[in-house]
Amino acid sequence: MYCPFCRHPDSRVIDSRTAEDGAAIRRRRSCPACGRRFTTQETVILMVAKRSGVTEPFNRDKIIRGVQRACQGRPVTEDQLAILAQRVEDAIRSRGSGEVPSHEVGLAILGPLRELDEVAYLRFASVYRGFESLADFEEEIAGLRRERARDRGWVAGDTEGSRPAPGTGASPPPPAEQPPPAAKELPDNREPADRERAGTR
Ligand SMILES: [Zn+2]
């Protein structure tokens, strides 16, 4: 590697140590020509295997570009996108494999994107998972609502009256498939019980 100061084509390693929890090696180098010192870093290049069989280096900018399209017109900042791409990379690298299939990269985007913006998430998921009908959207939205109900109401215990309180801890919480407390969203002329009876399945 060339000396970054004088372009001398050789350098001497004077120290070498692992960094980033063993995911990288840093070398302190000295230039024999100008005597200045600099540091280099060596990491595994994470490769993404595309469906065609071609592999290419993982590229955070590519993640950002892919998500940006789904975020058009949404209140999502460049910084948030950069953090999302970082999270995706961290998640993939933490699996300890030097190569991942491209669809796993897509999967790793879904979670952080859902936390960031639900509309952008739906757009991205609709393309990525190949939604073909309104029913696909409805199913995904129902899933988002369930997540929300789980995140808010249940844990915080602030859903009053819409279902029995969990008690003193003796009774287990209801199954996750149960619809969220959605009484307010029902038409006025229908009782929650009617809707449940008329519901799918
Ligand atoms: Zn030099």
**Of 107, 1, 112, 91, the residue nearest 46 (C-alpha):** 91
Backbone φ and ψ of 37, nearest 5°: -115, 150
Please give the distance, rounded to the nearest whole angstrom, from the Cα atom of residue 13 to the centre of ligand 1: 13
Please give the distance, rounded to the nearest whole angstrom, from the Cα atom of residue 4 to the centre of ligand 1: 7
Locate 155 and state its tokens: 């844990």
Please give the distance, rounded to the nearest whole angstrom, from the Cα atom of residue 34 to the centre of ligand 1: 4
Per-position pLDDT tens, the chain of length 201: 889 999 999 999 999 999 877 878 999 999 999 999 999 999 888 999 998 999 999 999 999 999 999 999 999 999 999 999 999 999 998 887 889 999 899 999 999 999 999 999 999 999 888 899 999 999 999 999 998 888 777 654 444 444 444 444 444 555 555 555 544 444 444 444 444 444 444
Please give the distance, rounded to the nearest whole angstrom, from the Cα atom of residue 28 to the centre of ligand 1: 13
Please give the distance, rounded to the nearest whole angstrom, from the Cα atom of residue 16 to the centre of ligand 1: 19
Q: How far apart are CA 84 and CA 76, in angstroms?
A: 11
Reduced to 3 states, what is the DSSP secondary structure of residue 158? coil
Please give the distance, rounded to the nearest whole angstrom, from the Cα atom of residue 9 to the centre of ligand 1: 8
Q: Is 0.85 topped by the overall pTM?
A: no
DSSP-derived secondary structure for 141-152 = HHHHHHHHHIII
